[in-house]
Amino acid sequence: MATPIIEVVNLVKKYRNSIALDNINTQFYSGCTTAILGPNASGKSTLLKCILRLVLPDSGKVIIQGKDWHINTYTQECVAYMPQIPALPDNQNWLSLLSLLCALNPNHSANLDLANELGVDKFASKPFSTLSGGSKQKIVASVAFLFPRPIYILDEPTVGLDPVATIIIKKKIKSMVASGHSVLLTSHVLSEVDELADNLIYLLEGQIKYSGTSLELKKRYQANNIELALAHLLGECQNIAG
């Protein structure tokens, strides 16, 4: 059996009186894409941020490549992150950001293939404050794939992108998985999940309601797409809760 690249063990996170993650146990593997799904406030972003060590859980742990993620520098070396909302300094541009990132990663050569495909050079010298949301998203995507990492965490990676850029990003994800990397993503575009995801984790109120392959979920409910399968799963969860 394959060794997981990420192990999440008994993870609990509370915000005041609400439980964002309720004793989460799951694993992620190299060479596959795992989609983390669920309605708003289900715990998706909290789970990703705990893996990234942007949020510290109340209890439990995350193990990355066999090492405890409390070693913060190790997490940074292993994981690349593409946030849903680009947070870029208004007074900088792509060229100045690229120079800074290269200085911070002296042991790796920057891979500009994705940036070139997305046409980032067309607005490379323009301040981020002048760019559209789609252009900023292209910058953030280019940053995520700039240096080699075994794990890529992508939060709504195609939101705000035009169809051509969306195709380029999806092609890049498939390429990284084919070369043995692990991709964790969230997406509200279920046709995209159907196309990209090998495995699914469905969260509801901080608990995992499904963990397995997308094919197994569709087979369980005799559905020909993820959207229908998830509708059946959610209905089943609501009936149990009622």
At 73-83, the pLDDT tens digits run 556 678 999 99
β-sheet bridge partners, residue 7: 27, 63
Whether 142 maps to a domain, the answer reads no
pLDDT in tens, 109-144: 899 999 999 999 999 999 999 999 999 999 999 999
Whether 123 maps to a domain, the answer reads no
Whether 18 maps to a domain, the answer reads yes
Give me the pLDDT at residue 17, please. 82
139, 169 contact by CB (below 8 A): no
pLDDT in tens, 4-51: 999 999 999 999 888 999 999 999 999 999 999 998 889 998 999 999
Whether 103 maps to a domain, the answer reads no
For range 173-190, the mean pLDDT: 95
Q: Amino acid identity, residue 142?
A: S
| Count of domains for the chain | 1
Give me the pLDDT at residue 16, please. 85
Give me the pLDDT at residue 2, please. 72
Q: Is the pLDDT of residue 71 over 80?
A: no
Whether 186 maps to a domain, the answer reads yes
Give me the pLDDT at residue 53, please. 86
For range 153-169, the mean pLDDT: 95
CA distance 25 to 37: 15
Structural domain harbouring 168? 6-85+149-241
Whether 125 maps to a domain, the answer reads no
State the chain's mean pLDDT as an integer.
Answer: 91
Q: What is the DSSP string of the chain?
A: -PPPSEEEEEEEEEETTEEEEEEEEEEE-TT-EEEEE-STTSSHHHHHHHHHTSS--SEEEEEETTEETTSHHHHHHHEEEE-SS----TT--HHHHHHHHHHH-TTS----HHHHHTTGGGGTTS-GGGS-HHHHHHHHHHHHTSS--SEEEEESTTTT--HHHHHHHHHHHHHHHHTT-EEEEE-S-HHHHHHH-SEEEEEETTEEEEEEEHHHHHHHTT-SSHHHHHHHHHHHHHHHH-
Whether 132 maps to a domain, the answer reads no
Which CATH number is 222's domain given? 3.40.50.300
CA distance 221 to 219: 5
Specify the pTM: 0.92
Q: Is the pLDDT of residue 146 over 60?
A: yes
